[in-house]
Copies of this chain bind each other. A is one copy, B any other.
Amino acid sequence: MFVAMKPHATEAEFQAVVEKITALGLTPHPITGTERKVVAVIGNVASVEPDDFASLPGVAEALRVSQPFKLVSREVREEDTVLDVGGAQVGGKAIAIMAGPCSVESREQILETAHAVKKAGASFLRGGAYKPRTSPYEFQGLREEGLKLLALAREQTGLRVVTEVMSTEAVPLVADYADVLQVGARNMQNYALLERLGQIEKPVMLKRGLAGTIKEWLMAAEYIVAKGNPRVILCERGIRTFEPMTRNTLDINAIPVLKSLTHLPVMVDPSHGIGIRKHVPAIARAGIAAGADGIIVEVHPRPEKALSDGHQSLTPAEFEGLMRQVRVIASAVERPIA
C-alpha cells in the first residue's frame, strides 16, 4: 500500500500518517524525489484498508500496490527516476553512453580508451578493477590500483566512472572512487551486497542475473531501495538460453516491460548481450529503438590483446562507427545523446 499527500500538505500532516503506519505495526518507507510526498507501507497490509489513511488530513489518496515490488514500481511513483551523476543524467530524455574496457589493465590502456570514448561521445567510462572470473586462476583485476587509474582517467577526461563491486567489504573503497557502482550478473541476488549498497549515496547499476526473471530482478532492486538508496539503474545484459551461437540471449522484451513496470532507468549492454564484436552495433541500435535509456559498451584499444572479453570489445574506431548509428536511432525516437 502507499499513501500520497496533497500538494500543499504540511509536514505535520505527513508525520501523522507515518505515525499511524507505525502504530498499526507496519513500516513506513517515505519515497523521495517525487513531486508530491509519498510513503509506502510495508508489512502485512491485508488487514488495513486504504480508507484508514485516505480520511486523514492532507492525504490525497491511499492505494494498494498489486506488485510484489513496491518502491520501484510505477504504481508507487509514476514519473521516471532521473539520476544526476556529476552533471550527466541517466533516465532522463537523453540517452546515456557508457563505454570502456572490460578490465582496467594499465595506465596507458585506460587513459587511451577514456580519451577515445570521450571523443566519440560517451559521458561515462566503464572499466573493471575487481573482476568476477569463472576460474580462480584467471586475471582478477588490478583492484585498488585499477580504481586509482579510473579516477585518473576521470580527472583527465571528465568522464564519470562506472565500476563493479563484488563484496560488502569493498563497498566503501569502491564508493570512494566510482560515480556508479555496478553489481554484476552473478551477484544479482547477493542480498548482503544489495543491502550494503542500500546504505550508500551513490547510484548502483544492477545487472540482470543469467537466470533472473524480470520480477526477481525488480525485487533485487527493491532490496537496495528499501534500505535507503533510491538511485538504482537496471541493466539488461542477456540471459542464458539454449542458443550456443551467441554468448547470451539479450532479452529485448525486457526493455518495454521494465519501462512500464518501474520508474527506474534501464540500460542495455549489447557487448555481453550478444558477445560477438561485429554484431554489437546492431544490438545497441535495437536496445535504443526498444526504449532503453542508454547503452554500456566494451571498448579496448587492442581487443586482440585484452586480458578479458577481447572477442566482444570494439576498437575506438568501431565505437565511433557505433556512435554514428546510435545517434541516428536516438534521433528517430526523439532522444538526444547525453
A24 contacts the other chain (CB 8 A): no
- A189: chain B residues within 8 A (beta carbon): 132, 134, 186-187
A211 within 8 A of B: yes
**Please, how many angstroms separate the alpha-carbon atoms of A249 and B211 in the complex?**
13
Stretch touching chain B among A51-59, A278-286, A315-323: A278-286
Could you give, for residues 106-146 of chain A, a 1 whenever the CB lies within 8 Å of some chain B CB and a 0 otherwise? 00000000000000000000000000111111000000000
Residues of B close to A242: CB separation below 8 A: 211, 213, 239-242
CB <8 Å contact, A256 and B279: yes
B residues near A252, Cβ cutoff 8 Å:
250, 252, 283, 286
Q: State how many angstroms separate the Cβ of A45 from the closest Cβ of chain B.
A: 10
Roughly how many angstroms separate A278 CA and B209 CA in the complex, as a whole number?
26
A193 to B169, CA, bound (A): 11
Interchain CB contact under 8 A, B241 and A257: no
- Judge if A60 is at the interface, Cβ distance under 8 Å: no
Q: A42-B137, A189-B186, A245-B214 are in contact. Are A253 and B240 (CB under 8 A)?
A: no
| Neighbour of A279 across the interface among B68, B226, B227, B260, CB < 8 A | B260
Check A257/B279 contact, CB under 8 A, given A223-B136, A289-B285, A329-B329.
Answer: yes
Q: How far, in angstroms, from A256 to B325 measured CA to CA in the complex?
A: 15
Chain B residue with Cβ nearest A243: B213
Measured between beta carbons, the chain B residues less than 8 angstroms from A187 are: 189-190
Q: Tell me if A290 is interfacial: C-beta within 8 Å of chain B.
A: yes
User: How far does the Cβ of A243 sit from chain B's closest Cβ, in whole Å?
Assistant: 6
Please tell me if the beta carbons of B256 and A274 are within 8 angstroms of each other in the complex.
Answer: yes
Contact between chains at B289 and A329 (CB < 8 Å): yes
Interface centre among A133, A245, A290 (most CB of B within 10 A): A290
- What is the distance, in angstroms, from A338's C-beta to the closest C-beta of chain B? 19
Which residues 204-247 of A sit at the B interface, judged by CB distance below 8 A? 209-211, 213-216, 219, 222-223, 226-227, 239-246
**Interface pair A245/B257, CB less than 8 Å apart:** yes
Contacts of A191 in B (CB 8 A): 132-133, 136, 166, 186
A48 beta carbon closer than 8 Å to chain B: no
Name A222's closest neighbour in chain B (CB-CB): B136
Does residue A251 face the partner (Cβ distance < 8 Å to B)?
Answer: yes
Q: Report A40 CB to chain B, min CB distance, Å.
A: 10
Residue among A191, A254, A329 with max Cβ neighbours from chain B (10 Å): A191
> Could you mark each residue 248-292 of chain A with 1 if its beta carbon is under 8 Å from any beta carbon of chain B, else 0?
011111111100100000000000011010110011011111110
Q: In chain A, residues 291-313, which have Cβ atoms closer than 8 Å to a Cβ of chain B?
A: 291
Indicate if the CB atoms of B219 and A136 lie closer than 8 Å: yes
Interface assignment of A167: CB less than 8 Å from any CB of chain B: yes
Interface pair A257/B276, CB less than 8 Å apart? yes
Given A257-B279, A328-B332, 5 more contacts at CB 8 Å? A69-B135, A135-B219, A253-B274, A255-B286, A328-B333
Can you list 24 A-B contacts (CB < 8 A)? A68-B134, A68-B135, A69-B135, A132-B189, A136-B223, A167-B192, A168-B192, A187-B190, A210-B211, A211-B211, A213-B243, A214-B243, A214-B245, A252-B283, A253-B273, A257-B274, A260-B278, A282-B291, A283-B290, A289-B289, A289-B290, A328-B332, A328-B333, A331-B332
